[in-house]
Amino acid sequence: MTPNPGGKLHVLIASFPAYGHIIPLYELAKKVGKHHRVTFAVSAPKLSDLVKREIVNASDPVTLFGIEDGLVDDFDNPTDPGVMARVFQTVLPAFAQLMTVIPVRNGNISTVSGIATPVDIVITDNFLGGPAAISHQRGIPFYSFCTANATMLQIMLMLNEDSPTVEEADAEPFVKLPEPGEAPRPVPEAMKKLFLPMRTGLKFARGIIINSLRELDQEAIRAIDENGELKALTFHFVGPLLPEEKGANSEAQLATEGKVGKWLDAQAVNSVVYVSFGSVATPKPEQVTIIGDVLLALGQPFIWALREKHHQHLPAAIQAGITKQFDGSNDSKFLILDWAPQKLVLAHAAVSVFVSHCGWNSSLEALGSGKPVVAWPMFADQLENGKWLERLGAAVLIPDTGLKSAKVVSVEELNEAVVKVGGWKGGEVSVYGKAAQTWVDKISGAWAPGGSSEKEFLDLIRFQAKE
């Protein structure tokens, strides 16, 4: 492979159009961009939203490229059983076409507007893994990127042509590892058709990049090694890939950060409950009311990241205080925020408990900040993440939650879990808090000079084939 002048390669990084995928991949793109020329490709309709959400910055060492795939669907409604299949049916053919026409060294002249320089390396979201194999056929090495931990890769390797299927309406909302001695769980037929090409494409990859730390994923690594299918591949653990602090162009969010920081500074150490279910799913309306009742009954200060359209389901006492929380007229015991500066909140000494859906990014942020979790999974990999935090001793998992669950978590059950994790009755950090704190240095130090993820990243960007 002949690099660009100056020894830099042209690296094309492509993401599936979901923010849980875009954010870590774009963070990786910025890091690679400090060493090589980087083009970041995602569905064209997402580009304006990346700017609006202030995920991208004009000073980033990354060139954006919109894939004209005609994407219409979004993931704001995960209860829509057909949304994932529709998105895949839209995105995959367009990405396959892109892989067919991107310019290569000593090859075709580019016919792709926006990608004139020949591509030397492709890093692709594992959800795009099937079409990514086209780059291998054209002589462009590609790496598969796993946005979550290695457990998700382990689950994908269990899928094969003989895997049992189930109707979408009867499928569980979670992607699960079978218990020891248990047969693989049935998966929706549409999911099987989509995921099998991803698994097949892995064998053509030069390596696999995982948004985790090697030390956090030992069990999954052993299981993958025992499987043997990916034995020839190099694994690069480069997590956590979390958004960096906002720049000066983020005036609105910086203003919110300032107000939230000031409010947190006024709270006692180890007193605040932080609640966030991420940007996609929210518990049902009656559950929102119950969570609000519990937070009020606890008597602890709290922050809840809850989109405005759900505020109508909050207890009246909370609704009445929302408009006054930043006006200086009262000493508010709570903040209800449409968007919360999660990194700032979790890092603050006043915060003691994180009630979370356990998305992978949030799980890493919790451990990296030493904050214990009340795990309330909603869908996808979140149950496995909650179980993982529980195994580490850093969480209490509320059972039988999820988008399709008929259960309504009671006031008593949620109150008991939050008090248990908060440890306020003992007057000191709970055992869950102490367990979470043992990971702070390991996770926060992963990207420090000489840290485990920095070392694996520097090895990755040499982009050399395994000898």
The 10s digit of each residue's pLDDT in 390-401 is: 999 999 999 999
What's the CATH architecture for 5-239+446-460? Answer: 3-Layer(aba) Sandwich (3.40)
State yes or no: pLDDT of 425 exceeds 60: yes
At residue 374, the 3 state secondary structure works out as strand
Average pLDDT of the residues in 60-79:
84
The answer to whether 273 and 345 are in contact (CB under 8 A) is no
pLDDT interval class at 467 (50, 70, 90): very low
Statement: residue 10 has pLDDT above 90: yes
182 contacts 158 by C-beta, under 8 angstroms: no
In the structure, what pLDDT confidence band is assigned to residue 247 with cuts at 50, 70 and 90?
very low
Cβ atoms within 10 Å of 296's Cβ, excluding its own:
16
- Residue 98 in 3-state DSSP? helix
Lowest-confidence pick of 185-199, 273-287, 350-364: 185-199
Q: Amino acid identity of 304? A: W
**How far lies 90's CA from each of 332, 372, 417, in Å?**
47, 39, 42
Query: To the nearest whole number, what is the mean pLDDT of the chain?
Result: 90
More confident residue, 464 or 33: 33
The Cα 213–Cα 445 span in angstroms is 11
Res 140 pLDDT > 90: yes
- Which architecture characterizes domain 252-444 according to CATH? 3-Layer(aba) Sandwich (3.40)
Query: Distance between the two ends of the chain, CA-based, in angstroms?
Result: 16
Q: Report the sign of the C-alpha dihedral through residues 324, 328, 333, 335, in that order.
A: positive
Nearest to 180 by CA among 150, 228, 223: 223
Strand order in the sheet with 373-375: 334-337, 302-305, 272-276, 351-356, 373-375, 395-397
Which candidate, 339, 337, 343, places its Cα nearest to that of 361? 343
Instruction: Count Cβ atoms within 10 A of the Cβ of residue 366 and give its class: 0-12 exposed, 13-18 middle, 19 or more buried.
Output: buried
| CB-CB contact of 393 with 429 (8 Å) | no
The pLDDT of residue 248 is above 50: no
CB-based burial label for 397 (10 Å; 0-12, 13-18, 19+):
buried
Buried b (16+ CB within 10 A) or exposed e, 100-124: eebbebeeeebeeeebeebbbbbbb
Which tops the pLDDT comparison, 78 or 441?
A: 441
| Domain limits, the chain | 5-239+446-460, 252-444
Distance between CA 257 and CA 342 in Å, rounded? Answer: 9
Closest CA to 205 of 115, 142, 254, 257: 142
Residues 96/134, Cβ–Cβ less than 8 Å: yes
Residue 353 bridge partners (DSSP): 273
Q: Which two tokens stand for residue 348?
A: 């603050």
Q: Residue type at 28?
A: L
Q: What sign does the CA torsion over 192, 75, 80, 78 have?
A: positive
Q: Is the pTM of this model over 0.85?
A: yes
Cis peptide before 240 (omega within 30 of 0): yes
How many CB atoms lie under 10 A from the CB of residue 441? 12
167: left (phi over 0), alpha (psi -120 to 50) or beta: beta
Q: Could you tell me what percent of the chain has a pLDDT over 70? A: 93
pLDDT in tens, 329-355: 657 899 999 989 999 999 999 999 999
**Minimum mean pLDDT range among 17-21, 26-30, 67-71, 94-98:** 17-21
Identical fold, 5-239+446-460 and 252-444: yes
| Contact criterion met (CB below 8 Å) for 29 and 122 | no
Task: Give 173-230 pLDDT, tens digit per residue.
Answer: 898 888 888 888 898 887 888 889 888 889 899 999 999 999 999 999 999 999 888 9
State the pLDDT at residue 62: 97
In this structure, what DSSP letter does residue 310 have?
A: G
**pLDDT at position 148, please?**
93
* CA distances, 57 to each of 26, 245, 247 (Å): 11, 12, 8
Statement: residue 111 has pLDDT above 80 = no
Residue 59 has a pLDDT of 92
Contact 343, 254 (CB under 8 A): no
Reference 15, options 137, 136, 144; nearest CA is: 144
Query: Is the pLDDT higher at 148 or at 52?
Result: 148
Structure tokens at 350: 């006043």
Q: How far apart are CA 438 and CA 33, in angstroms?
A: 32
